[in-house]
Chain A
């Protein structure tokens, strides 16, 4: 399975942008990049996904490197509510399409 590497933890200040990195050097051409987050005492929450092009939605932006070996989840203005564990997940075709979680990045947001 293609794997991802994320920092264990990051800190941010409230109302500042946050860039959460993810390395996936063994990504295959058909793997999608998904991001989920898990707030304390809650289930994981879908954030965004993409294949090759950068993606934007109301929650975040996903910037994908040209060689697709890394990606960055961008929160444009962090709030205290964004403190969570963020998971970067590759989803392949067929049996590789299951949503398999790694350890993620724990984001702390300081007021």
Chain B
């Protein structure tokens, strides 16, 4: 099992550019989560999916952020246009279930720097 795979590991982009982060969850996991981590705010849940359907996107900071899950093995988080304050580490996680008894498996993250 290769775990949750995120790409790219690092991304540097200029303000105003579109950024796309990618995630491949563990096969068979029905839930996928996107988190963002900054020094100031710690780890924040942005959005999560169940069976490719977005369930709760209340953590998405602005309309500039969008996430999709076109199939069970792939998800994207897009920022358009990007701003310097979007600089953070973005983590994707997956789980075989949702709720109290389930643990999440996280990817290694994408470190985004917007200059």
Contact = CB atoms under 8 A, between A and B. Distances in A.
Contacts of B105: 46
Contacts of A98: 45, 48, 56
15 contacts: A32-B100, A32-B101, A34-B103, A42-B108, A43-B91, A43-B93, A43-B107, A43-B109, A44-B43, A44-B104, A49-B101, A98-B45, A99-B33, A101-B43, A102-B42
B106 interface: yes
A97 B103 contact: no
Say whether chain A's binding surface is mostly helix, strand, loop, or mixed.
loop
A31 B99 CA distance: 10
A46 B98 CA distance: 14
A72 B101 CA distance: 19
Contact of A99 (B42, B45, B56): B45
A15 interface: no
Contacts of A97: 98-100
A42 B109 contact: yes
Contacts, number: 48
Contacts of B4: 43
A interface, how many residues as a size bin? 20 to 34
Interface of B: 4, 33, 42-43, 45, 48, 56, 91, 93, 98-101, 103-109
Contact of B103 (A43, A46, A102): A46
A85 B78 CA distance: 28
A51 B45 CA distance: 23
